[in-house]
Chains A and B, each alone.
Chain A
Amino acid sequence: MGYGRSDSYRVATTQDKDKKESPKKKGGKDLDDLKKEVPITEHKMSVEEVCRKYATDIVQGLTNAKAAEYLIRDGPNALTPPPTTPEWVKFCRQLFGGFSILLWIGALLCFLAYAIQAATEDEPAGDNLYLGIVLSAVVIITGCFSYFQEAKSSKIMESFKNMVPQQALVIREGEKMQINAEQVVAGDLVEVKGGDRIPADLRIVSSHGCKVDNSSLTGESEPQTRSPDGTHDNPLETRNIAFFSTNCVEGTARGIAVCTGDRTVMGRIATLTSGLETGKTPIAKEIEHFIQIITGVAVFLGVSFFILSIVLGYSWLEAVIFLIGIIVANVPEGLLATVTVCLTLTAKRMARKNCLVKNLEAVETLGSTSTICSDKTGTLTQNRMTVAHMWFDNTIHEADTTEDQSGSSFDKSSATWVSLARIAALCNRAVFKAAQDTLPILKRDVAGDASESALLKCIELSCGSVKAMREKNKKVAEIPFNSTNKYQLSIHETEEGNENSYLLVMKGAPERILDRSSHIMVQGKEQPMDEEMKEAFQNAYQELGGLGERVLGFCHVFLPEDKYPKGFAFDTDEVNFETDNLCFVGLMSMIDPPRAAVPDAVGKCRSAGIKVIMVTGDHPITAKAIAKGVGIISEGNETVEDIAARLNIPVSQVNPRDAKACVIHGTDLKDLSQDQMDDILRNHTEIVFARTSPQQKLIIVEGCQRLGAIVAVTGDGVNDSPALKKADIGVAMGISGSDVSKQAADMILLDDNFASIVTGVEEGRLIFDNLKKSIAYTLTSNIPEITPFLFFILVNIPLPLGTITILCIDLGTDMVPAISLAYEAAESDIMKRQPRNPLRDKLVNERLISIAYGQIGMIQALGGFFAYFVVLAENGFRPYDLVGIRLNWDDRSNNDLEDSYGQQWTYEQRKIVEFTCHTAFFVSIVVVQWADVIICKTRRNSVFQQGMRNKILIFGLFEETALAALLSYCPGMDVALRMYPLKPSWWFCAFPYSFLIFVYDEIRKLILRRNPGGWVERETYY
């Protein structure tokens, strides 16, 4: 086609042998088989052999009986839909997955404890039973919530599915018949024309200018010619095979179906995709790690107090009840709901920014991503050929390739441009489809070849209606493009007032056009073609070809009036007119240009420490040009080949370490060992993989994951789908993406805008930080909730805080503030940070636990106990007299227990005081949690730097206080929840502790900021 395609037919589609050595999981055999080369051999056979193989006839087609027999043997010609998980399995996954397990275990332990109590005591306390029920209810409600959330996303997914049944034109027993594409069998003689979807893998037997769009299979933007001759050993590369579910863009062809359904190339990719197993999402791993830590703490506490209580002389059964009680008290009941709501909020926010997330957990994954493997065609580029450059008057002019025509324009005043535009408009068979006059030109549909459409749109944009131009210059003869001529020619009547009556225009491969030209047009004047001009042409041609663009040459001639008078009968078969000594006018080059937002997005990803790799099925030169255009290969970085060319030495002499960028061809990739592959991925920062097969894309993703990267894959074609599935997060395109790719992906960009990925990264990182804060906040109140029980066991005081009040905190007052932390703004520019290291930066680490449990939690417990002792003291029980009082206190038959002043208390009176204490303790926790939520807003900055702009958080503060007051003062609460009104002074008991927490943490953060990397940071920065 052009200079830029010199190595275009070195192609890698066969699978490397290394793959077999790589460790494979279960079901590996089938997958390995699928990962291997395409088994089509028919392209190497002659038409007769193919006919014989399928017992079909080149003219008559299959007999109906034979077709029916094959249909029964092979099944319908349709892709097996990927096995869908039944709804109840999805629901159960929500109910029993990850965090829920912790709560379920807690609930079971509660029931167990209740059972023990019921069996041993006459009147067992209902606390454990209620707790168990509440825990189960929490899990079930949250499970339902997230199930419906995800169901909503998948419903949007469903709407993408293309429901239109495909039709196919087959010839059976000599008769053409339109049948449902599902009925097509191997051996059928199928006819396709422009606009059709290919119904099966076809071995072409005859064709008329047939071109197919293979972009969804190979990533090539340009339509490929299909003809009966085998041109390549590789089935994906040869011209005589057309593939299932690609589109025929123009011409007609007839072919014999050789593969149908899942056995087609497309079907194999789809099967490979659905067979792949995917790992856990990073956030799921983090939650698992968190559960381990929490369980560790709970079991440690539980067991130590179990031993302690045995030592203290409790009975075995009592000790077991204590053990269970302590373990259950460690379960943060509200956290599951908090995490789910936080993730949902982010998912919603992302959906508003056109990122649809299929799986709630995938919300965070982009934030952890350290490598993005992006497909080129349709993802980074617009997937439409556009005129990018022109060469006339001996200069290269740049055309506007932006989607919205916002770019700069070139100088259109030259007379040469007028001629060039006229040739491009006339020698062009593409036309706009009807009834699109209201649409912007670039959005209109065009019938015709991609490069002709590009020319048509370019001329329409810059010179006005092409239709009018064509009407003024009626076409009288035409020689269409063919591969031997490599040019296209047409003869038109000239406009009124021209001395000659016919104009011959020609376009085609630049070197062929040059050969036929004797003159060249400069500034509208014809000059003889000299050596200097030829060299200038060569340079321009090479330069444009080097940009990966498809270059076309244009020339024309006014046919002399004396030889070709009006009414001359042009004969295109016998060519009774001259096609030499033409006047060369210029070159135009086309490329599938990058999307406008992509370079910026790539730059942002780079500054966020994310490596962007291009993985494309397209040719290396085009791939490299686009990579340079969008910044995947940044300015000034060279590949090994560039260095070799610059220093004029062979490629083998260049030290590969000198080159930061590299372009790797699929065939080379095939020969690489795993170590070499790792080496490339590790040592080059800017990598482009070209001419890769779907299977190789998969291997590249696996390679990155092997090096510990969290990989995001973006793509739109079927060829991307195995990689999309294998990636930690697959991102598909919502508008242009194929169904298979959307099914394999975890996230869908509804507007096809690569820049939305940046949003995803930002949101993901923010929610990770904010989840940390949320968890730190929620865990802190665990300590003031557990310590009362521990002291109850250890020093035999009346129970300071009951189960119901604990639940009121965890599921009541703490909820809104914890969720509000999800709305917290970032503390610093999160897009300037490196991606988190999944091995080091955990969601919950020991430092977070130490802050929450060991420091803030302890102060909170002090505040709670202070309020408890104040309430009891005001009622006559001095703290010293409380120690050891428990057995008498809880004794129903003891109705004359004396306080420190000798006053006697009945059991009921004592209990009212005890529950007032619970309420006071509860209110104190609310008060200290005010300070906690404010300090949890930031992990490093001072609150004064961060500000209090988070209105949800302020609402949370008001709401939790209002709820606490309501619980304490609402009539009937004494019966319902056993909470009693508090004297106003008791509210203030915890205020000093609240203040202490605030000051303590501000000082900690101050030291942390002052001494970066110091002891405080190492020990307390979570």
Chain B
Amino acid sequence: MQAGTMDLVTLVVFGSWLAPALGSAFGREVFASAENADKDYDSAFEYDYESLRIGGLVFAVVLFVLGIVLIVTKKCSCSSDKPRPKTPDEETAVPIAQ
């Protein structure tokens, strides 16, 4: 019983902190956009270059890491794959006309 009240208290305390935090975030956003729409007719011409930059950079880094991972995994299978180019698969063995 004691433990149950304890839990409840914790929940309430946590909840009471969370609610205004969420609420204010919501409210601010709504408020901000409303303000923008009020003030600035050029909003269609504004572009969030900052997040574009970050997104682009993340994209670049991810690709780069992917590429590196690919090369590293190649190193492992490299030794067993080696003879492959020497004996092309049947499907690729199309004779070349002379």
If the complex has contacts A958-B64, A966-B57, are A941 and B94 also in contact, measured as CB distance less than 8 A? yes
Shortest C-beta distance, A368 to chain B (Å), equals: 16
Contact of A981 with B56 in the complex, beta carbons under 8 Å: yes
Q: Mark B61-98, 1 if CB is under 8 A from A, else 0.
A: 10110111011011000000100111011011111111
Shortest C-beta distance, A895 to chain B (Å), equals: 19
Residues of A within 8 A of B63 (CB): 958-959, 961-962, 965
CB contacts under 8 Å to A, within B24-81, are 47, 49, 52-53, 55-57, 59-61, 63-64, 66-68, 70-71, 73-74, 81
If the complex has contacts A962-B60, A965-B63, A981-B53, are A825 and B94 also in contact, measured as CB distance less than 8 A? no
Bound complex: CA A1013 to CA B97 (Å): 8
Bound complex: CA A567 to CA B63 (Å): 94
Contact of A981 with B88 in the complex, beta carbons under 8 Å: no
Residues of A within 8 A of B71 (CB): 951-952, 955
Contact of A965 with B93 in the complex, beta carbons under 8 Å: no
Bound complex: CA A983 to CA B45 (Å): 12
CB contacts under 8 Å to B, within A975-991, are 981-984
Bound complex: CA A965 to CA B58 (Å): 9
Contact of A969 with B56 in the complex, beta carbons under 8 Å: yes
Decide yes or no whether A93 CB sits under 8 A from chain B.
no
Give the nearest-CB partner of A966 in chain B.
B60
Shortest C-beta distance, B1 to chain A (Å), equals: 57
Decide yes or no whether A529 CB sits under 8 A from chain B.
no
Bound complex: CA A428 to CA B81 (Å): 52
Stretch at the interface among A26-34, A218-226, A827-835: A827-835
Decide yes or no whether A971 CB sits under 8 A from chain B.
yes
Give the nearest-CB partner of B61 in chain A.
A962
Contact of A959 among B53, B64, B98 (CB under 8 A): B64
Bound complex: CA A959 to CA B56 (Å): 14
Shortest C-beta distance, A490 to chain B (Å), equals: 54
Residues of A within 8 A of B61 (CB): 962
Give the nearest-CB partner of A964 in chain B.
B60
Q: Mark A948-959, 1 if CB is under 8 A from B, else 0.
A: 010110110011
Shortest C-beta distance, B60 to chain A (Å), equals: 4
If the complex has contacts A962-B67, A965-B63, A970-B57, are A983 and B88 also in contact, measured as CB distance less than 8 A? no
If the complex has contacts A952-B71, A962-B63, A966-B57, are A940 and B52 also in contact, measured as CB distance less than 8 A? no
Decide yes or no whether A86 CB sits under 8 A from chain B.
no
Contact of A832 with B95 in the complex, beta carbons under 8 Å: yes
Contact of B64 with A941 in the complex, beta carbons under 8 Å: no
Bound complex: CA A949 to CA B84 (Å): 10
Residues of B within 8 A of A962 (CB): 59-61, 63-64, 67
Give the nearest-CB partner of A956 in chain B.
B67
Residues of B within 8 A of A826 (CB): 85, 88
Residues of A within 8 A of B66 (CB): 958
Bound complex: CA A966 to CA B55 (Å): 11
Residues of B within 8 A of A968 (CB): 56
Decide yes or no whether A1012 CB sits under 8 A from chain B.
yes
Residues of B within 8 A of A832 (CB): 95
Contact of A959 with B67 in the complex, beta carbons under 8 Å: yes
Contact of A940 with B98 in the complex, beta carbons under 8 Å: no
Contact of A762 with B97 in the complex, beta carbons under 8 Å: no
Contact of A958 among B49, B67, B86, B97 (CB under 8 A): B67
Bound complex: CA A945 to CA B60 (Å): 31
Interchain residue pairs with CB less than 8 A apart (27):
A762-B86, A766-B85, A825-B88, A826-B85, A828-B96, A945-B92, A947-B89, A947-B92, A951-B73, A952-B71, A952-B74, A954-B70, A958-B66, A958-B67, A959-B63, A962-B61, A962-B64, A963-B60, A966-B64, A968-B56, A969-B53, A969-B56, A971-B53, A981-B52, A982-B56, A983-B47, A984-B52
6 nearest interchain CB pairs?
Answer: A969-B56, A958-B67, A965-B60, A825-B85, A962-B63, A962-B64
